[in-house]
Each structure stands twice: as C-alpha cells, then as structure tokens.
Amino acid sequence: MDIAKQFSLEGKIALITGASHGIGMAIANAFASAGATICFNCSSESSKARAIEAYKANGVDAHGYVCDVCDEEAVKALVAQIKEEVGVIDILVNNAGIIKRIPMLDMSAEDFRKVIDVDLNAPFIVSKAVIPGMIEKGHGKIINICSMMSELGRETVSAYAAAKGGLKMLTRNICSEYGEYNIQCNGIGPGYIATSQTAPLRERQPDGSRHPFDQFIVSKTPAARWGEAEDLMGPAVFLASDASNFVNGHILYVDGGILAYIGKQPQ
C-alpha cells in the first residue's frame, strides 16, 4: 500500500464554508497542497475578492462564491453552480460559524436563534445539499467544525455550546444515515486557536504580564500554548482523504490536551 497516496486529495473538489480567512482558509490551503480543487463561500463580494487574492498569494486558484449558508434555496443554487462550473463536491467542510459571548440571562431569544441558525442549521442545510451528489458519486467526506464546547460548558456561551453540542450529534447522525453510501462524516473540535479574533486575549499587559485569559488557557493546556490554524491542517487532510475511510461519526479534538486534563494542583 502506498501510504502517501492514501492522504492525497488529487482530483477531489472541496467546498469549505466561511473560508475567506482564519481556520477555514488554513484548511482550504492544506487541501490545495494535497491536490484538491478549492471552493469557498463568504458573505460579500468584497470579502470574496480579498480571499481570492490571499489564496493566489499562496498559489491556490480558489473558486469563491457569495452565499448565505442559512438560506436553503441559496445553498441549493450554490451547489448546483459549483457542479456546473467545477464539478460534483467530494469534500464538504462546514466551517462557517459565529459566537455571541453574552450571559444567558442577558441574551435575547433572537440572538440565541441566530447562533443556532449559523452554527447548527447551516451545516444541516449544506450537508443536505451535497449528500445526493456524494451518493451518486459513490463516496463523500463531510467534516463539521465542532468545538470543545461540544463537550464542555462555559459562562457566556450558552447558544454556542448548545449549537456545537448539536453539531456533534448531527455528525454522528449523518454517519448513521449515510455511512452505507461510503460517506464519512466526522468532526474536528479545535481548542483555543490563535487567530485575529483572539488576538486581544493574548496581548501583553502594560506590566509585561500575560492577559488573564491567556494565562488561564495556557495553564489549562498540557501543550502550554495556544493552537495555530496550521495545527488543524493535518487532521483535516486525514479526515478528507482515503486514509480515514473507516473512520466515521468521530469528533477529533485538536486541543493540545485540554479535554484530557484536570489542571495543575494549586501550590
């Protein structure tokens, strides 16, 4: 067996939602390096243009589309357009997501529904749109970007944790319903990742000390650091490739060991 070939994505067409920056873009670049053709969606023409330039700078000829992944009819049209312009989707990464850090008693039902809509309903909608093509092709890979909040609760993230817990179970249910069609649906649960969104939480304080939240995360992580978007590349390629053909309904936590660790005993 050629093990390198098992990890190749040569000839595959991948759709990564919300991959105009951050984790989604890192995963898309990894897929491109493994040979896949990249398609992504974003929310505006301006963000699409910026993303395409960023992909080009990395030598990736990505196909960008503007689409609201919460709009079922728009998603159907997107998948049909990709089929016509690029081909039938082999790999889907449900990466698009939002978080609203609001204490539960202060959170409106409208805000709660919005998080659920983007983080849980949208993966259902996009998966539902691509699965028929995967069945027709005889294979498919769906990767849902879950979270440690698929397993843990934390103050101010009730909607996000509810959505990501639901996404974990949607992952297992897609596996259960469509595994017989050679479709593997798995999840990646990132730990705390160093991105532009988390940069304020990692800024040094005026006295040179770490931000309190930065101290908290590093102390709770056996790896003693924040993750980088690049840390998700290998796991994503594995779950998108033939190397994971008998891995289904699994959530791979890429968290530096947080979920395995109770923390250090106070001195």
- Condensed to tens digits (0 to 9), the pLDDT of residues 220-265 reads 999 999 999 999 999 999 999 999 999 999 999 999 999 999 888 7
Whole-angstrom distance, CA of residue 43 vs CA of residue 29: 20
Whole-angstrom distance, CA of residue 168 vs CA of residue 166: 5
Q: Which long-range contacts (CB under 8 A, 24 or more apart) does 116-120 make?
A: 116/159, 116/162, 116/163, 116/166, 117/70, 118/69, 118/70, 118/163, 119/160, 119/163, 119/164, 119/167, 120/163, 120/164, 120/166, 120/167, 120/170
Confidence band for 21, pLDDT divided at 50, 70 and 90: very high
Catalytic residue among 65, 160, 178, 192: 160
Residue 92 is predicted with a pLDDT of 99
Confidence band for 200, pLDDT divided at 50, 70 and 90: confident
Angle between helices 22-33 and 45-57 (to 10 degrees): 40
How much is the pTM? 0.96
Can 160 be counted among the known catalytic residues? yes
Query: For the chain, what is the mean pLDDT?
Result: 96
Considering only the C-alpha atoms of the chain, give the largest distance between any 2 of them, rounded to a whole number of Å.
63
Residue with the two structure tokens 């027709």: 136
